Amino acid sequence: GEDDPQRDIFELLIIPMAIARNMPIFGICRGIQVLNVAMGGTLIQDIESQQNIPKKTHQQEPPFSQPVHTVCFEKGSVFERITGATEIKANSMHHQAIKKPADGLQVDGRAEDGIIEAMSAKDGSRIFAVQFHPEACGGPCETAYLFDDFIAMIKANNVQ
């Protein structure tokens, strides 16, 4: 995709501000990547060329509601608690991924090929993120519970 330096600068500035205010954060796709970089982690710039993983594995063609790979969540992770599952089927629309997780984040889920698909704050704060797109799951699915949990965090935190 094309670079958007203004968006990059804005997001990299606003994330530490939200963390400082203990605001709930739910990152999706680019969101997990920007969150990780803002907190000091690094990215794989291109999965296909740097990891030798076929492009179609993580950059699916439409329909985007169709799951293309499995994500395995760590037992006891926030994602297992929210979804009630340790394994889900997920869609995938990205060519970058987490390389080195930021010190404040823990890896909570991976695809079969090892690509990081879910992370949360180590300190148990209101931060979690996914590489897949739960908003495009195409109907009732366990990933919809991620939004329910995020909304509950917002209400509990009285975020306006």
List, by residue number, the catalytic residues. 29, 133, 135
Q: What 3-state class would DSSP assign to 2?
A: coil
Residues 121, 128: Cα–Cα separation, whole Å: 6
β 87-90/116-121 pair status? unpaired
Residues 33, 96: Cα–Cα separation, whole Å: 8
Residues 51, 97: Cα–Cα separation, whole Å: 10
Question: What is the secondary structure of 35-61 as a DSSP string?
Answer: HHHHTT--EES-HHHHH---HHHHBPP
Per the CB < 8 A criterion, the answer to whether 46 and 95 are in contact is yes
